[in-house]
Each structure stands twice: as C-alpha cells, then as structure tokens.
Structure 1
Amino acid sequence: MSRRVLVFVAADVHSEAGRTVERVRAAMLAAGMSAGTATAEWRRHFDG
C-alpha cells in the first residue's frame, strides 16, 4: 500500500472517530449532563 493511501485511510479513521466522539457527547448532553460533565466523563473513560 502506498504512503498516500495509508495517509488517506488514517485520516478517514481519525475523522470517523471524531464523529463518534461528537455523537457520544451529544447523547450525554441529551441525557441531561452539562457540557463540562460530559467532557469530564468522556476523558475519564477513554483518555486513560
């Protein structure tokens, strides 16, 4: 696989991960969490 293809695939995976983060955060906000609480919970669970 060429480097160009690898960069494209990596960018696509990163982009999808970003969309997933936003969907999870939106669900947390819809469940009544404040933006700060939703962000803190996300970091606690997924950022190690």
Structure 2
Amino acid sequence: MTKEKAQLGLEPIYDVKELGLGKTLVLGLQHMFAMFGATVLVPLLTGLNVSTA
C-alpha cells in the first residue's frame, strides 16, 4: 500500500462560477448564517433594537 498526499489547490478562485453549483450553494448558506448572526442574533442577545444595530 502506498500513501498519496492530497493535493491542495494553491491558486485563488476569483470567479464563483469556477466553484460549481454545490460549493456555491454551501458558500451561500455559510454567508446567510454569518449575516444573520451579525445583523439579527447579536442585537437580540445584547438587548439592542435590531432595526438600529
């Protein structure tokens, strides 16, 4: 048995079309959760008004 090292892509991706549909959807969901946490969840936890935060 030989062990092969995984090749990591070292080149940056500048266009989202290079990712494909699956990775684009996962990236979109991650962005949605991050934006929800920043704009809604933090003001609710700290007692601030969501519309002014």
TM-score normalised to the size of structure 2? 0.46
Structure with higher helix content: 1
TM-score normalised to the size of structure 1? 0.49
